[in-house]
A and B are shown apart, each in its own frame.
Chain A
Amino acid sequence: MQFKTLLKTLPLLMLAAGLGSAAHAADVKLGLAAALTGPAAKYGVAIKNGFTLAADEVNAAGGVNGNKLQLIIEDEQGKKEEAINVFKKLIFKDKALLVFGPTLSNSAFAADPIANAAKVVAFGTSNTADGITAMGPFTFRNSVMEADVLPVTTRAAVKHFGIKKVAIIYGNDDAFTKSGYDVFKGTLADQKVPVTTTEAYAKGDVDFKAQLTKIKASNPDAIVCSCLTEEAANIILQTRALGMKQPFIGGNGLNSPKLFDIAKGAGDDTIMGSPWSPENLTPANKAFIAAYKAKFGSDPDQFAAQAYDALHVVADALKKIKLSGAIDKDRIALQQALPSVTIEGATGKFAFRKAPAVTGKEVGYDAQQEAIVNIAKGGKFILLK
């Protein structure tokens, strides 16, 4: 009996507490759902750092229209189920004005519909899969799709090395490497570059020599690799052990200093496209890298850069609207202000563009951004000129 009474009064108490804090705080609450533990934590932690850095900067400069930004950070563990839980908590309990994240595309497909139904912006900074922004008008992302980056990378590589034909190797049981492969396949067809052979490997494989021997026999001018860093590094090393000299072409998965920790000089001449590069020496990027190093004592990566930019995009949108205090109204005002934001961030010039239309459905907004093409020289990526 007592327990039942408690169950009845608890929501009321929580509601009262919620109203109480909303009335006093002039903080703008922004939710962040990131994978802070589990295998995707290496991305999630960088994302959290990027957001924290940017929020501190904005607040140190007096906030937005006098309001301080308050990040509410929750761990979604890189799992769909947790992403759903965290989104619900941030939207319905914490009353966040918008939710950043989640970290993985898989999780975004599960959690973003909740935000769309509640008319709250879900802002992804690392979701590159196709179709994310088709989920609804409240889904935004500033992560550049592989579909935008890889054609630019491939064209640059073909020109740089005078490539006539390529071989492909990719991981066929991972959403990211598989979708990268699909994009490469379409791109190579569009650009009329013949593929000599296509080889696959599975998660956990460490011996790629059988596939590489077959690739060697097909005699390509370059090897396209839709792989994660650690696999890519071993693939490169094993290629060299087989006496092959071909350059590699890859996507985001290769964009990590870890590539050279493992492959050392063998990784030279690898061409990789990414929205962000530490070698891109614009003032905004230089300032970001210096501030990140000072705060966290390590070098930032692309995930931190995109998170950092995302907060500045939202801060810019917040400048354009006047918050009423009525959360539903403010959430919609933010959604309407976002598409017109343009900034010059760590990842360069940024703007939104409406996602490709889907019949009978309103869509969200993708990133409109230039890809940066890099080439590995002396154990690091430099800009390909």
Chain B
Amino acid sequence: MLEQQLINALSLGSVYALFALGFTLVFGVLGVINLSHGAIFMLGSYAALLLIEHFALPLWLAMLAAMLVSGLIGLAVDCLVLRPLRARNAPHLAPMIATIGVATILTSLAQGLFGAENKRFPVGTIPEESYNWGNLHVTAVQIGIVVISFILMLVLLAVMRRTQLGRALRAIAESPKAAYLLGINVEGLFYLTSFAAAALGGAAGVLVGLSFNAITPFMGQPMLHKGIAVIILGGMGDIRGAMIAGLFLGFAEVLTVAYISSDFRDAVGFGLLFLILLVKPSGMFGKVLERKA
């Protein structure tokens, strides 16, 4: 049973990590907790669903298009909501509260457009194969989720660590003012960050929609809670931390079910969060808080 649970944990954890990636990226660069990330994740799922249902796009293309759509939504949120607040030097709480409003609007909009019922990708979209080794069962979707999540995470990590763009982003994270004085196009990179983060959220939405057949306007909310836990555990704004914390939360939840009780599944994840906040308030890998202070 343990091997099977570890596989369950790996696929769950990589979804959490992928979701948290965009979330933490926005915090790292813009210094904003964007609580509309869950709603954008949900819309990514619907975008792929509509493209597949109405235009019969192949899955990979639908996924790329969904990333583009959610990226553009993220960009729009930045232009319409976050930028005016930045321009006014609004206090930290303002963008967070504003994005709660955005999330509510997007969720209501989706409910009006698509209805409250669960939708799923048409049968045949998802490879139905599963691979068995004795008592161990792994579905093609589970493998796909882990592989795609890791590819996206590694690409993002490489961009941040090894490119000029990444250096510029890290400079902004350090101090937007100094970056501006150095001739970095800060506002442009804010847009790019919001776009990329939302695109990653959309990708996570498609993967969750694919594996669990449960696309609803409300799917973003529970994921957002996990996402908050993951970015705090991993250290706010730390990409490597979000990856590891995402996997960690997946394992914590699954092993709780396996060895304690399914009643405590969420309690253990958030209990750990609380403990870590007590012991190391900046999260497992966090430096941002100290840096900003």
Complex contact A42–B117 (CB within 8 A) = yes
Given contacts A210-B258, A213-B5, contact A262 B139 (CB under 8 A): no
Complex contact B139–A204 (CB within 8 A) = no
Q: How far is the CB of A84 from chain B (nearest CB, A)?
A: 24
Interface residue SS majority, chain A: helix
Q: How far is the CB of A240 from chain B (nearest CB, A)?
A: 9
Contact of A241 among B139, B208, B222 (CB under 8 A): B139
Residues of B within 8 Å of A234, CB to CB, are: 212-214
Q: How far is the CB of B174 from chain A (nearest CB, A)?
A: 37
Contact of A213 among B4, B212, B221, B265 (CB under 8 A): B4
Residues of A within 8 Å of B214, CB to CB, are: 206, 230, 234
Interface residue SS majority, chain B: helix
Complex contact A216–B1 (CB within 8 A) = yes
Residues of B within 8 Å of A42, CB to CB, are: 116-117
The winner among A41, A210, A233, A242 for most chain B CB atoms within 10 A is A210
Complex contact A262–B120 (CB within 8 A) = yes
B218 within 8 A of A: yes
Within 8 A of B (CB), among A34-69: 39, 41-42
Q: How far is the CB of B155 from chain A (nearest CB, A)?
A: 25
Complex contact A201–B262 (CB within 8 A) = yes
B164 within 8 A of A: no
C-alpha gap A209/B263 in the complex (Å): 15
Residues of A within 8 Å of B258, CB to CB, are: 210, 213-214
Beta-carbon nearest neighbor of A213 in chain B: B4
Q: How large is the interface on B (under 10, 10 to 19, 20 to 34, 35 or more residues)?
A: 35 or more
C-alpha gap A109/B3 in the complex (Å): 47
Complex contact B254–A210 (CB within 8 A) = yes
Given contacts A210-B254, A213-B8, contact A262 B1 (CB under 8 A): no
Residues of A within 8 Å of B120, CB to CB, are: 261-262
B181 within 8 A of A: no
C-alpha gap A261/B4 in the complex (Å): 28
Given contacts A199-B262, A242-B137, A262-B120, contact A211 B257 (CB under 8 A): yes
A200 within 8 A of B: yes
Complex contact B213–A262 (CB within 8 A) = yes
B 228-256 to A, binary, CB cutoff 8 A, 1 in contact else 0 = 00000000000000000000000001100
Complex contact B137–A243 (CB within 8 A) = yes
Beta-carbon nearest neighbor of B134 in chain A: A243
Q: How far is the CB of A301 from chain B (nearest CB, A)?
A: 13
Beta-carbon nearest neighbor of A204 in chain B: B222
Complex contact B208–A206 (CB within 8 A) = yes
C-alpha gap A205/B211 in the complex (Å): 13
Within 8 A of B (CB), among A238-273: 241-243, 258, 261-262, 264
Beta-carbon nearest neighbor of B253 in chain A: A210
B219 within 8 A of A: yes
Complex contact B262–A211 (CB within 8 A) = yes
Beta-carbon nearest neighbor of A201 in chain B: B262
Residues of B within 8 Å of A7, CB to CB, are: none
Complex contact A237–B213 (CB within 8 A) = yes
Residues of B within 8 Å of A237, CB to CB, are: 213
- Interface pairs (8), CB distance under 8 Å: A200-B263, A204-B221, A211-B262, A230-B117, A230-B118, A233-B213, A234-B212, A258-B117
- A199-B262, A206-B214, A210-B258 known; 14 new pairs, CB 8 Å cut-off, are A41-B116, A42-B117, A172-B263, A201-B262, A204-B218, A207-B12, A207-B212, A209-B11, A214-B1, A233-B213, A234-B213, A237-B213, A243-B130, A243-B137
User: Can you list the 3 inter-chain pairs with the closest CB atoms, starting with the nearest?
Assistant: A206-B212, A204-B222, A210-B257
